[in-house]
Structure 1
Amino acid sequence: MQISLAIPTATLLKKRSGLAAVIAAAAVLASAPYASAATQQASSKPVVADVRTLAALDFAAGDSPENITVNPDNSLTVSTLGGHTAAGERPALLRIDPSGRSTVIVAGQQGDAFSGIALDRDGTTYYNVVSDDASRAGVWKLPPGGAPRRVAALPTDGLPNGLALDPAGRTLYVADSSKGTVWAVPASGGKATAWLTDPALAPAPSLPFGANGLRFHRGAVWVSNFAQGTLLRIPVTATGAPGRIHTVTSGLTGVDDFNFLNDRSDVVFAAQNSLNQVAVVHPDGATETVLTASEGLASPTSVAVRGNRLYITNAGFAEPHDAKVQRGTINPAVLNCGPAS
């Protein structure tokens, strides 16, 4: 079914790169009648079981989760979007321990939003700040035991979203949902450069959110496109330039961020924000729905995997605004791709 999404022009003009635009889009998506892409079928197999709420968050207070990483101690770092209806609520980075207890580790500024997160092996956390303030918009880092600082500025008329660090720890890649661009940023600090701008990353006239989630995996930058419902694989050449874009699948309506079963596998778990679903994308591009609203999903924005654990951030855009982090158990044998690592 062809889906038409109308987003208030005034809202986008007011704050195209910021939180107001994100919330306006999400409200429309959550209330529209959706149908899954034809390639998607609800799975009859228990790929993910025992889905429970790990941490309930307060949507009204701005704790609407956006992105997630799993730390070596099995705690989580979660970014939040900040204020929705109440003025003064600020975005944050939260540390959630395995018991579900939440602690603020970075508090942002009023009017900003935090989006993608990446973790370095030394424990440094990188995160995107969406802001209309040119002194704050960009990629920031939080070193272990240190204070946050900005490593690169990004345009205030963009919308930095997914974020990933290459295995060497040298280059950060940022998906810009407004500009249809992947930025490259030196992890040590410096100027952001447009690594790739392409129609495959672009938003659509009726839905101005294109390139969304981003991961670096097995020598390639992988990007989801929210507007086009695609998952893309972009090889990184020996010179560091982007190779030819390969469309892994085009059957992911409302796809947000995603992650891999493990470092060796190209099996993907993808959050479908507008459908209240999580899908599995197989290496041949086939997709299957593995979690739905019946498991409590509420505007899922991102997923993370550690061993056989699947973590899901739920932004709670629609009533009753059930913002939370969920945890489930993956059965890798059902996926026929070996054990998770």
Structure 2
Amino acid sequence: MRTRLLALAIVTGLGLATAAPSNAATSRIAVHFDVKKGQQPENLALAPDGTAYVTFATARQVAAVSPSGVIKVLATLPAPADDGADVPALGFALTTGIVRTADGTLYFLYASGDPATTGLYRLNPGREPRRIAALPANGLPNGLALDVPAKTFYVTDSALGTISTVPLKGGPARTWSSARELAATGFLGANGIKVRHGAVWATNLDQGTLLRIPITHGRPGPVEVRATGLAGIDDIAFAGRRVVATLNAPNKVVGIDAKGRVATLLTDGLQNPTSVAVRGRTLYVLSAAYLTATDPNLIHATLPRD
């Protein structure tokens, strides 16, 4: 994977030349993770008390990180017999997107290349994880978002270039969109995903785009490309009228306004940032150090005012 991402970094490192002048956030590294233990965080979900629930991709784990920085592993998924060699593009098994519901239940994705284990999992407090939906083993389920009123999960597949839906209670996954704007063009396509104000927002890493897809009576409307030139875009979150995005290989967190203009918000301390969450004016940013292999971490940053 590191070799593939190095190639991606060379190609996508040129994609930010037109970015708007920066309005930087102030930041600090709150937690250092251990790369030797596979603690390369891929995605996070916040609890009201400030606990960050994270997926450690290469360790196949789900963990809780307390506000004081204490790390507690909640679950480790079994390794497939071939260690995930059949996982498209990456060649290793990994835990990816994660969502926390109001009752404290965690839902997360596991891509193993194995039909028996690839899918969406539920993790109730104090229990073992249970798969509630199978997902294609020849795909790479990556981003996970919950439409709370509709009780529906949306799942991006970065290899197949699709968004699928799964009922909150579990059940069969159904392809919701396979629009060309979601497709991979060399490495990974549809990636980060959120649901907001009656629309699905998604990113495409290969195409460097931020997308909005209206939800019309449960079905996808026409894909709207809201921003381009976002080299290595991974996860997104909303901060007022802005979209905040992590750019993995370029080592940046950026803000994107309603006109698609991009401003750099954060570079200090980043080690291939993979995920972002916003609470008030505070940014929580995970870095997986997929390329640097040096210091995977969790950063707390204060957003500048609009």
Judge same fold: TM > 0.5, yes or no.
Answer: yes
**What is the alpha-carbon distance in structure 2 between the residues aligned to residue 108 and residue 280 of structure 1?**
34
Compute the displacement of 1:283 (Å): 1.2
How far apart, in 2, do the equivalents of 1:138 and 1:52 lie? 35
Q: Which residue of 2 aligns with 1:134?
A: 115
Query: 3-state DSSP class of the match of 2:48?
Result: coil
- Select which of 261, 271, 277 maps to 2:246: 271
Contact 2:12 2:231 in 1 (8 A): no
Contact kept, 8 Å, 1:151 with 1:187, in 2: the verdict is no
The reply to whether residue 252 of structure 1 matches residue 233 of structure 2 is no
The residue type equivalent to 2:262 in the other structure is T
| Cα deviations by residue, 1:170-210 (Å, 9 ceiling, x for unpaired) | 11000100111001111111100000001100000xx2200
TM-score under structure 1 length normalisation: 0.82
Q: TM-score, normalised by structure 2?
A: 0.92
Cα distance in structure 2, aligned partners of 1:32 and 1:114: 26
Q: Which residue of 2 aligns with 1:116?
A: 97
Rounded to whole Å, the distance in 1 between the matches of 2:189 and 2:242 is: 22
Q: How far apart are the structure 1 equivalents of 2:258 and 2:97?
A: 24
Q: Does 1:231 align with 2:210?
A: yes
CA distance in 1, matches of 2:29, 2:150: 33
Worse overlay, 138-147 or 111-120: 138-147
Q: 1:200 aligns with which of 181, 202, 211?
A: 181
Partner residue, 1:80: 56
CA contact (8 A) 2:2 2:291 kept: no
CA deviation after TM superposition for structure 1 residue 32, in Å: 6.0
Q: CA deviation at 1:285?
A: 0.9
8 A Cα contact 1:251 1:287, kept in partner: no
Identify the residue that residue 218 of structure 1 maps to in structure 2. 197
The answer to whether structure 1 residue 26 and structure 2 residue 5 are counterparts is yes
- For the residue of structure 1 that corresponds to 2:20, the secondary structure is strand
Q: How does 1:140-219 map to 2 (within 5 A)?
A: 140-168=121-149, 170-204=151-185, 207-219=186-198
Among 1, 16, 20, which residue is 1:41 paired with? 20
| 1:286 paired residue number | 261
SS of 2:113's partner is coil
In structure 2, C-alpha distance between the alignment counterparts of 1:190 and 1:24, rounded to whole Å: 37
Provide the residue aligned with 1:319 in structure 2: 292
CA distance in 2, matches of 1:142, 1:121: 13
Structure 1 counterpart of 2:71, which letter?
S
* Paired amino acid for 2:67: P
Q: Distance in 2 between matches of 1:169 and 1:99?
A: 35
For residue 37 of structure 1, give the secondary structure of its aligned residue in structure 2: coil
Deviation digits for residues 108-131 of structure 1, max 9, x if unmatched? 222321001112122211100011
Higher mean alpha-carbon deviation, 29-38 vs 312-321, is at 29-38
SS at 1:194's partner residue? strand
**Match for 2:73 among 80, 90, 104?**
104
Paired amino acid for 1:212: N
Structure 2 CA distance for partners of 1:278 and 1:223, relative to 1, 3 Å = same
> Could you tell me which residue of structure 1 aligns to residue 269 of structure 2?
296
Gaps of 5+ in 2: 84-92
CA deviation string 1:266-292 (max 9, x = no partner):
411100001000110101111111112
- Residue by residue over 1:68-111, the C-alpha shift from the partner in whole angstroms, topping out at 9 and shown as x without a partner, is 111111100011112xxxxxxx3111100111111101112223
Distance in 2 (CA, whole Å) between partners of 1:169 and 1:135 is: 28
What letter matches 2:37 in structure 1? A
Cα distance, 1:30 vs structure 2: 4.3
Amino acid at match of 1:271: T
Amino acid across the alignment from 2:253: V
Higher helix share: 1
| Mapped partners of 1:158, 1:164: distance in 2 | 18
Counterpart residue number, 2:31: 55
Matched-pair identity in %: 38
Corresponding residue SS for 2:181: helix
Give the aligned partner of residue 279 of structure 2: 306
Deviation, structure 1 residue 169: 5.6
Change in 2 beyond 3 A, CA 1:32/1:285: closer
5+ residue gaps, structure 1, are: 1-21, 83-89, 336-341
Distance 2:143 2:123 in 1: 17
C-alpha distance in 2 between matches for 1:144 and 1:322: 29
Structure 2 residue aligned with 1:12: none
* Matched residues, number: 294
Deviation at 1:41, TM superposition (A): 3.0
